[in-house]
């Protein structure tokens, strides 16, 4: 016993080292599991408010660009409004019963502002300035006017943290618009402007410039939201799949305002697929 | 003695906010980060015990991590270099030997000695942070080049800051 104690005391530095590293490793592990919310959260209100106020300074320099983007989006929405059919003043149509609006209302959009955003790490996250107070919950999708950004991971009262599409542990279901083939978008950790589209077989004619959109195979995003365009496409060594590089439509380095998408029927969809565990996701 | 503690506290109060508010946004050559707050860990004197040094590194590391959204990673790397630091200091004694109550910095022991002392520690730190963050060795060469550039950039700023703001202890 005495010898054991003497041993422990002699190498106490090493044991303290092991103990502290174990604390760190448990923190890393509990935080990497992105479904579970860990005790220490980067989305906590103190951290959020500090990063937000430091971000405010940088924001002044981006105001011109943000204004232009918002104006462009306004113009696009106005165009949509004009192209939608005008109300017909025909007497008969007054008696037609409109479809139930609850049927069509499947998604709710909430606007939010990016408070902090990384693009240079292998696993990138962002923080937005809306939290549980505003109805944000984990697993909601985040989009910007120019395309898909990511999904929410953990939520505090006023802030939420999201997993960016630029995260090597994150993948999205995507669709090639021309052929309707489904693949998986995965970022490879190199270039924040380029992602990979996996599992597309060589029989699909994939042209440079083709549009890649979200599929309807997940309950996070509505279908046909733009993700990016094909930049390069080549067969892989075994001729099983195509190596496709997508240039992302969102410039993650300049992200400022985003929308959080709530799927009203997500729970119902998820409970259905959980009840049938063999179901294809 | 008091002056030394004053220097350490002031450098802590300035370096950590500088790291999380300013240098967090800087990426050099699209690859290299700058971990300026390492200057504080490196400047802890030899008289601070190894255990206390590691606890300090853990606490500061977690604060940094909260802003970098990488809980535990900077803390783990910080604890690692604070564990290695005393052994490395004993192996790498300056020609005149250590003086009591002197911080291990350029004004006290010279530039050549400081680079020899800090370069391996900063390199180990960068490698630890970047490899734990990537979580696999699939991006080996990219991460290695990131770590090398990070080391050079961090060392550059750590040296410059000392010439600008630190004076010789009396």
For A85-139, what is each residue's pLDDT tens digit? 555 555 554 444 445 544 455 788 888 888 888 888 888 889 998 888 988 988 8
More confident: A158 or A97: A158
pLDDT tens digits for range A10-60 = 888 888 899 999 998 888 887 765 545 555 666 677 777 888 888 777 777
Residue A40: predicted pLDDT: 60
**Å between A211 CA and nearest CA of chain B:** 28
Q: Which residues in chain A are closer than 8 Å to B54, comparing Cβ atoms? A: 16-17, 20
DSSP codes joined into one string, A208-275:
TT-EEEE-SSSSSS-TT-EEEEEEEEEE-TTSSSEEEEEEESS-GGG--EEEEEEETTHHHHHHHHHH
pLDDT of B118 higher than 50: yes
CB distance A123–B133 less than 8 Å? yes
Residue A277: predicted pLDDT: 62
pLDDT of B20 higher than 50: yes
Residue A281: predicted pLDDT: 46
Strands (DSSP E) contained in chain A are 107-117, 123-128, 141-144, 147-155, 160-167, 171-176, 182-186, 194-198, 211-214, 226-235, 242-248, 257-263
Q: Which residues of chain B approach chain A closer than 8 Å at the C-beta?
A: 20-21, 25, 27, 30-31, 33, 50-51, 54-55, 58, 61-62, 65-73, 75-76, 79-80, 83, 86, 130, 132-135, 138-139, 142-143
User: Does this complex have an ipTM over 0.90?
Assistant: no
CB B37 within 8 A of CB B16: yes
CB distance A168–B135 less than 8 Å? yes
CB distance A122–B67 less than 8 Å? no
* Disruptive mutation site among B24, B71, B134 for chain A (greatest number of A CBs within 10 Å): B71
Give dist(CA A88, CA A93) in Å, integer: 7
The most confident of A37-41, A160-164, B152-156, B163-167, by mean pLDDT: B152-156
C-alpha distances in angstroms, A274 versus A126, A151, A266, A269, B43? 29, 20, 12, 9, 55
Give dist(CA A229, CA A207) in Å, integer: 10
Residue B125: predicted pLDDT: 95
Tokens of A230: 């094909």
Give dist(CA A33, CA A48) in Å, integer: 21
CB distance B142–A189 less than 8 Å? yes
Q: Which residues in chain A are closer than 8 Å to B59, comparing Cβ atoms? A: none
CB B1 within 8 A of CB B121: no
Rounded average pLDDT over B91-109: 84
End-to-end CA distance of chain A: 58
Q: Mapping DSSP to helix (H, G, I), strand (E, B) and coil, where does residue A156 land?
A: coil
Cβ-Cβ contacts under 8 Å for A209 (sequence gap 6 or more): A229, A230
Q: Quick one: how far is CA A23 from the chain centroid?
A: 30
Rounded average pLDDT over B66-74: 87
Give dist(CA B104, CA B117) in Å, integer: 9
pLDDT tens digits for range A217-264 = 777 888 888 899 999 988 888 888 888 999 999 989 888 889 998 888
């Amino acid at each position: 016993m005495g010898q054991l104690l003497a041993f422990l005391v002699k190498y106490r530095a090493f044991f303290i080292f092991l103990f502290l590293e174990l604390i760190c490793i448990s923190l890393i592990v509990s935080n990497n599991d992105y479904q579970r919310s860990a005790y220490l959260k980067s989305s906590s209100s103190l951290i959020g408010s500090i990063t937000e106020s430091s971000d405010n300074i940088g924001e002044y320099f981006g105001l011109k660009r943000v204004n232009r983007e918002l104006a462009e989006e306004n113009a696009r929405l106005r165009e949509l409004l004009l192209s939608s059919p005008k109300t017909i003043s025909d007497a008969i149509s007054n008696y037609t019963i409109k479809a139930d609006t609850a049927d069509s209302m499947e998604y709710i959009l909430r606007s939010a502002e990016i408070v902090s955003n990384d693009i240079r790490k292998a696993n990138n996250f962002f923080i937005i300035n809306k939290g549980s107070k505003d109805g944000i919950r984990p697993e909601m999708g985040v989009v910007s006017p120019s395309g898909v950004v990511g999904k929410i991971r953990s939520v505090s009262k006023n802030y939420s943290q999201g997993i960016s599409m630029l995260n090597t542990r994150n993948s999205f279901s995507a669709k090639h618009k021309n052929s309707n083939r489904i693949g998986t978008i995965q970022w490879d950790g190199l270039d924040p402007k380029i992602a990979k589209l996996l599992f597309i077989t060589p029989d699909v004619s994939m042209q440079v410039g083709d549009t890649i959109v979200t599929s309807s195979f997940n309950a996070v995003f509505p279908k046909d939201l733009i993700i990016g365009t094909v930049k390069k496409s080549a067969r892989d060594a075994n001729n099983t799949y195509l190596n496709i590089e997508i240039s992302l439509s969102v410039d993650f380095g300049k992200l400022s305002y985003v929308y959080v998408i709530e799927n009203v029927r997500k729970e119902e969809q998820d409970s259905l697929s959980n009840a049938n565990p063999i179901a294809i996701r | 003695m008091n002056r030394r503690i004053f220097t350490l506290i002031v450098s802590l109060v300035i370096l950590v906010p500088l790291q999380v508010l300013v240098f967090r946004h800087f990426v050099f050559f699209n690859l290299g980060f700058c971990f300026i707050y390492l200057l504080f860990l490196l400047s802890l004197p030899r008289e601070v015990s190894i255990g206390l040094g590691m606890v300090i590194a853990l606490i500061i590391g977690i604060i940094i991590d909260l802003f970098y959204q990488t809980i535990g990673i900077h803390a783990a790397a910080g604890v690692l270099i604070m564990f290695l630091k005393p052994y490395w200091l004993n192996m790498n004694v300056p020609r005149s030997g250590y003086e009591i109550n002197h911080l291990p910095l350029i004004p006290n022991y010279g530039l050549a000695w400081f680079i020899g002392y800090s370069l391996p520690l900063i390199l180990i730190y960068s490698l630890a942070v970047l490899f734990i963050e990537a979580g696999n060795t699939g991006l080996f060469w990219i991460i290695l080049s990131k770590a090398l550039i990070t080391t050079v950039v961090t060392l550059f700023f750590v040296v410059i800051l000392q010439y600008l703001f630190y004076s010789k202890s009396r």
